[in-house]
Amino acid sequence: MFQIQQSHARLSQLPYLLKTKPIVLVLASFFTPNVYAADSTQIDLPALAVTGNPLGVGSDELVVPVSVLNGRELSLRREGTLGETLNGIPGVTATQFGPNASRPVIRGLDGERVRIMQNGIGILDASSLSFDHAVGIDPLVIEQIDVVRGPAALLYGGSAVGGVVNAIDHRIPKEQLDGITGRAETRFGGPDSTRNGAAVVDVGNGQFAIHADVYTRKTSDLDIDGFAVSRRKSEADGTPRENRGKLVNSSADGDGGALGAALTFESGYIGASYSTLNNNYGVVAEEAVRIDMKSDRWDVASEFTGFENNLINRVKFRMAYTDYEHRELEDGEVGTTFLNRGVEGSLETGHAKINLGNGLALNGVIGFQFNNTNFEALGDEAFVPSVNTQNKALYVYEELPIGSDEKAMHKITLGGRLGHANVDSKDNASFGTGQNNSFNPNSYALGGLYSINESWSLTSNLSHNERAPSYFELYANGAHVATGQFEVGNTQFEKEKSNGIDAQIRWKDAKNAFSLGAYYTRFSNFIGLFETGNLVGPPGEELPEAQFRAVPAVFKGLEFEGKIWLSNQLTLNLRGDYVHAKEKRTNEYLPRIAPLRLGAGLQYQFNSFSAKLDVLRAFKQDNTADNELATDGYTNVSALVAYKLPTKLNLELFAKANNLLNDEIREHASFLKDISPAGERALLIGLRGDF
């Protein structure tokens, strides 16, 4: 968002707009004067301050690998789920349990090892428990998404050994605003016949600011080219290949919105917000099952800078309470209900620079993070008991700049996190007497950035991470119908421990940039779900047994991305990633690891017209775990054209085409890859505007 001056007459329209239906609000918001720059190709934006560093440095100054999506790029990239919106970023794939439930997978790690946050506070839902549970965030109202690859546990939680995804929505205004700003968008089409719209409005008088957003989303069953069941699965177990051309029970209907307000000052802000999300969608693994999800969230946040004393120069506080519920409907009747309610927050203080002599000075923060959640599963398919989880942690992060030449600045970063976690199950007739488990996960990191010259730099990170086992890894004991397994936890688990190193070489020259990175992470006791080969259950209803076990494992891989300006109008984009993951004891491959991917794209922009052609090649994955089928490679060719309409209104019409070759796309990281392919070739048309 940016600040503009508007007449007070427009402020009076806000109550009416908030009462209208979302699609009306979308269309109405387009009739606002154009205040955009005339030619965006001439704007050289500075590096963004992003997640992964609390000191507010630019993205190109971070030691950890980071990707940022915002503004127009994010708007044109949005998909129906957070996982699909991020899928294709170097190092990031998605779990893809059909088109409606998809969590990000970072460097082959998913579930609890990827920390999903909203405005720096963890998302409280049930998406890590089961792959068919959707993430409690809709990308339609997100303003920026930061993806930090690699261990980011020091600041954002001990479980984030894979990385961090932070979705930023600005629902609590943080900057002074005098006037009105906003955006709106609507789109139709695609393989699931999407019909959605969203609008965001911020108004302020220079000291008090109000935020409002609203959205609606509807989709039909996904159109596919061919059968839902793969040839490999049919040949392996005899599953018939039915439902050609349509992914049955994959439709969705959702909506939501938020109101927020803040007092803003030159040195900070204090504010609060309320948001709600509703999502009803089909579970493609079970044709008669739909999930009806609802999440209400209350946030408070404040930050103040400019303290005059010599000890503290910044204080930041954030806290959120979430009331999450979803019901699994079987032929319209409630079968199982999942509840998750709790609070999470953090208090962070930045200290003044500590002079070490010889021109060296430490700059950093000290923080305290806490959460308390209560999870319940009620019904016939509840495979975990009710659990209370509490986490508390102290963390510190410090940076030591070295050198005074801005063109050859070096940096050392160091940090530590001391935590305590209680994961206590409650008495239950099906699971027996409740049990108490406590852990003290501690993590440490040391990193550095070395500037070779004005264009070239090297970064590296060494880390030791410890993660407390999650409630389902400890206490699961029952049939998990969504994955077709009888899952068994282990209450004797100790902390999961890993040591890792990653390094990058970066090159930047004006608008051109390129980076190549490698990483190696070794787990002494990686907690994973492994099939035992046994069948469990009554005759005729047996399920394969899968146990959570702790095994030594190694994850290693490569990532690269680049952007080269071929001319003032034409840009070449490059990207690629590779993950190799094995259990060390048996030297067997771990399941659902994405294959080698290579991508290239051309982006053209001239005045009001822009176009993009992108090719992503995913190679065959036959490095598979036991009882896991291989996946064929695919080539996904996509295209985008956009045109800023020649009107006084700042409107842009765009069209997106995906899977132009109509290839059979099955993501190996998906639990349902053999019964749920991606959509067929389709066209989506949209209209977006900013004011």
User: Is the model's pLDDT at 5 over the cut of 50?
Assistant: no
Range name among 239-248, 254-263, 516-525, 558-567 with the lowest pLDDT average: 239-248
Residue-level pLDDT at 51 = 66
Range name among 164-168, 244-248, 479-483, 575-579 with the lowest pLDDT average: 479-483
> Are 159 and 153 contacting, i.e. CB atoms less than 8 angstroms apart?
yes
User: Is the model's pLDDT at 154 over the cut of 90?
Assistant: no
> Are 511 and 565 contacting, i.e. CB atoms less than 8 angstroms apart?
yes
Question: CA–CA separation, 476 vs 654, rounded Å?
Answer: 46
Residue-level pLDDT at 18 = 35
User: Is the model's pLDDT at 34 over the cut of 60?
Assistant: no
Residue-level pLDDT at 28 = 34
Residue 198's DSSP bridge partners are 185, 215
State the residue for tokens 């999450």. Answer: 324
Coil/strand/helix, residue 56: coil
> Cα dist. 31→163, 288, 335, 647, 650 in Å?
41, 44, 46, 11, 9
Mean pLDDT rounded to a whole number for the chain = 86
Residue-level pLDDT at 36 = 33
Between these two residues, 119 and 15, which has the higher pLDDT value? 119
> Any idea how long the chain is?
691
Q: With bands split at pLDDT 50, 70 and 90, how would you rate the model's confidence at 677?
A: very high
Largest CA distance in the chain: 76
User: Is the model's pLDDT at 2 over the cut of 60?
Assistant: no
Q: With bands split at pLDDT 50, 70 and 90, how would you rate the model's confidence at 524?
A: very high
Residue-level pLDDT at 46 = 39
**What is the tens place of the pLDDT at every residue in 190-222?**
999 999 999 999 999 999 999 999 999 999 999
Residue-level pLDDT at 257 = 95
Strand (E) or helix (H) holding 504:
strand 496-509
* Average pLDDT estimate for 660-685: 93
**What is the tens place of the pLDDT at every residue in 352-389?**
888 888 878 888 889 999 999 999 988 877 889 999 99
User: Is the model's pLDDT at 534 over the cut of 60?
Assistant: yes
User: Is the model's pLDDT at 152 over the cut of 90?
Assistant: no
Question: CA–CA separation, 497 vs 468, rounded Å?
Answer: 9
- Calculated CA dihedral for residues 13, 15, 21, 26, nearest 10 degrees: 40
AA identity, residue 96: Q
Range name among 249-263, 396-410, 525-539, 551-565 with the lowest pLDDT average: 396-410
User: Is the model's pLDDT at 639 over the cut of 90?
Assistant: yes
User: Is the model's pLDDT at 35 over the cut of 50?
Assistant: no
- Calculated CA dihedral for residues 422, 427, 433, 437, nearest 10 degrees: 0
Residue-level pLDDT at 533 = 81
Residue-level pLDDT at 58 = 57
Q: Which domains does the chain have, with CATH numbers?
A: 8-690 (2.40.170.20)
> Cα dist. 314→170, 268, 353, 659 in Å?
20, 9, 12, 48
Q: With bands split at pLDDT 50, 70 and 90, how would you rate the model's confidence at 53?
A: low
**What is the tens place of the pLDDT at every residue in 428-474?**
767 778 899 999 999 999 999 999 888 899 999 999 999 999 999 99
Q: How many Cα atoms sit within 13 Å of 372 on the Cβ side?
A: 0
Residue-level pLDDT at 641 = 96
Q: Which residues contact 686 (CB under 8 A, 6 or more apart)?
A: 185, 186, 187, 188, 653, 654, 655, 656
Beta strands in 380-441 (DSSP E): 387-402, 410-425, 436-439
> Are 94 and 83 contacting, i.e. CB atoms less than 8 angstroms apart?
yes
User: Is the model's pLDDT at 563 over the cut of 50?
Assistant: yes
Residue-level pLDDT at 32 = 34
Residue-level pLDDT at 492 = 93
Residue-level pLDDT at 616 = 96
> Are 531 and 548 contacting, i.e. CB atoms less than 8 angstroms apart?
no
**What is the tens place of the pLDDT at every residue in 163-186?**
889 999 999 999 999 999 999 999
First to last CA, the chain: 9
* Average pLDDT estimate for 423-428: 88
CB atoms within 10 A of CB 24: 14
Coil/strand/helix, residue 42: helix
Residue-level pLDDT at 219 = 95
Residue-level pLDDT at 30 = 34
User: Is the model's pLDDT at 11 over the cut of 60?
Assistant: no
Residue-level pLDDT at 286 = 85
Between these two residues, 85 and 532, which has the higher pLDDT value? 85
Residue-level pLDDT at 3 = 33
Residue 690 in tokens: 């900013």
Between these two residues, 34 and 78, which has the higher pLDDT value? 78
Please state whether 287 falls in left (phi above 0), alpha (psi between -120 and 50) or beta.
alpha
* Average pLDDT estimate for 482-489: 85
Between these two residues, 509 and 433, which has the higher pLDDT value? 509
Question: CA–CA separation, 352 vs 311, rounded Å?
Answer: 5
CB atoms within 10 A of CB 602: 14
- Calculated CA dihedral for residues 569, 76, 274, 348, nearest 10 degrees: -50
Residue-level pLDDT at 657 = 95
Residue-level pLDDT at 405 = 56
Residue-level pLDDT at 634 = 96
